[in-house]
Structure 1
Amino acid sequence: MLTEGKLVRDRIPQIIRADGAEPVVYVADPVEYRERLREKLREEVAEYMEADETTAPEELADVLEVAFALAADYGVGPEQLEKIRASKAQERGGFAERIVWTGNR
């Protein structure tokens, strides 16, 4: 696990500068970037798990943003990711019916 720093959204350094501070940043290499995206996904999922009904949609949007970035890192754009999702939903279904499996007889 990486210890120093964390992956932030692209405009965060600009926002910090607008607030009068000077951020210390660097651009991650491809290997570190993927590792930091995976770390960020864990962070965003944890924040979603702690969210209440009011903040949950915003936290889900953060999870989605990281998922899109990870997909892009694998060479998969949002449209292709949606096609993969839709194909899986067509083949296996979604989660709308709230089915809970408890095993087989």
Structure 2
Amino acid sequence: MNPGDMRGKLVRDRIPEIIRADGGDPVTYVASPAEYRSRLRDKLGEEVVEFLEADEDSALEELADVLEVVRALAVELGSDAERLERIRAAKARERGGFAERIVWTGNR
């Protein structure tokens, strides 16, 4: 696989090592910054779908995968998980969270 080839998928850093340990011979390359950002966005969608389709036993594992991609995207956007958390907390203070389970159906 070469950088111009859009097949394949972004995988966690240790996946090639794990494949080798299982006797496989993975074919990989390092994505360019632009491809990496695009593939992270694709990966976020993929992980969200996996979370939405998960049963209760695996939902937290899938949600952790979503969080891992979100953290990588924060870094790719020039920030980090801590700054992202500060932004989240500020929004929660200003607009609230979702703990009260409020559903808006419009205005009168």
- TM-score when normalising by structure 1: 0.96
Distance in structure 1 (CA, Å) of the matches to 2:79 and 2:6: 28
Distance in structure 1 (CA, Å) of the matches to 2:41 and 2:72: 10
Shift of 1:52: 0.8
Structure 2: gaps of 5 or more residues: none
> Could you tell me the percent identity over the aligned residues?
71
1:39 equivalent to 2:80? Answer: no
User: Which residue in the other structure is 2:77 paired with?
Assistant: 74
Q: Deviations over 1:59-79 (max 9, x none)?
A: 000000000000100011111
**Any residues of structure 2 matched to 1:4-83 within 5 Å, and which?**
4-83=7-86
Aligned residues: 104
Shift of 1:22: 1.0
- TM-score when normalising by structure 2: 0.94
Structure 1: gaps of 5 or more residues: none
Distance in structure 2 (CA, Å) of the matches to 1:93 and 1:76: 23
Secondary structure in 2 aligned to 1:54? helix
